Amino acid sequence: IGDIDGDVYVYSYSCLEGENKELWSSGHHLKSCRKISFSQDGQSLFTVSKDKSIHILNVEEGRLVTRFSKAHNSALNSLLVIDEHLFATGDDSGVLKIWDLRKGTSIMEMKQHEDYISDMILDRNKKLLLTTSGDGTMGVFNIRRRRFEFLSEPQNGDLMAISLMKRGRKIACGSSEGTIYLFNWDGLGATSDRFALKAESIDCMVPITESIVCTGSTDEIIRAVNILPNRVIGSVGQHMGEPIEQLAKCHMGKFLASCGQDQKVKFWDISSLSSVIVDDYRKKKKNKQLKPLSHKAFGNGEDFFADLKEVATDLEKENGGLSETDSD
């Protein structure tokens, strides 16, 4: 967990009450920690900060292993671990960098966006890196050949999050206007479809299956959304009175973790989503009530891990009666 003060906390969690505990904390960043990511082997933790630095810590001991003090000229905003040697970072001014740990420096630097880089993903072959930006565009970069490919047409509002769907054939981007924009893999320049949620903004999203994605919004709600046919399945959970800042799926895929500005990390059981089948021909219903997917989805918004609900510090992305309408 990274917080607004720049501190990083690592916890172990369990389904058993009383078994959750803080393992260590680190206060090396001078300003807010905006993104964190584990290495593929789970032995290292990458963190990026508003202070323009990148830190790599040993997960077992909490020891700072590598520091890039002035990694960018602007505050860092996004992070993506590519493999055991490479990782990518994006900053507030739209600069993308690819880093090689073997060389101890960046091996690619490009500025194609006019605003902050909000999120990044890789294609399945780890050849192309896709970015979303506050300028409303999606960028495509060839990291093998170290070159820029193209930008999509600008969309309404900031593009905040991106997910690879439908076995890599579709790209879903969430926007600050509450719309999911869909792109075909063979036509990334322009959208193929769009789906407007009744959400103030889609700030984060995590793919659960090849067709279902969970979105976090400033209206406090975590939605499960089916892509093609475009349907809001229901509410996974919420943070009462606070926007959803970040979502993460556990490695086994059973639980979804969420954090907001309410100083809590909450865990939600999403195991049932893997068996959901959405009817292609179901008639569209207007003003349909948002369906709770568990008895914890609404109400006081408490998660089912009672001992985990107080486990966090203020998390920030810092830029780190409900109804829905279906759309086809």
Specify the pTM. Answer: 0.87
pLDDT for residue 52: 99
Alpha-carbon gap, residue 110 to 189, rounded angstroms: 19
- Give the model confidence (pLDDT) of 271-296 as tens digits: 999 999 887 766 556 656 788 887 67
Locate 103 and state its tokens: 């060389």
Alpha-carbon gap, residue 305 to 22, rounded angstroms: 16
In percent, the amount of the chain with pLDDT more than 90 equals: 76
- Give the model confidence (pLDDT) of 62-82 as tens digits: 999 999 999 999 999 999 999
- Give the model confidence (pLDDT) of 239-260 as tens digits: 988 899 999 999 888 999 999 8
| CA quadruple 192, 198, 199, 200: dihedral, nearest 10 | 100
- Give the model confidence (pLDDT) of 157-216 as tens digits: 999 999 999 999 999 999 999 999 999 999 999 999 999 998 889 999 999 999 999 999
Residue 101 has pLDDT above 70, yes or no: yes
Check if the beta carbon of residue 280 is closer than 8 Å to that of residue 229: yes
Answer yes or no: CATH 2.40.50.100 is held by domain 1-111.
no
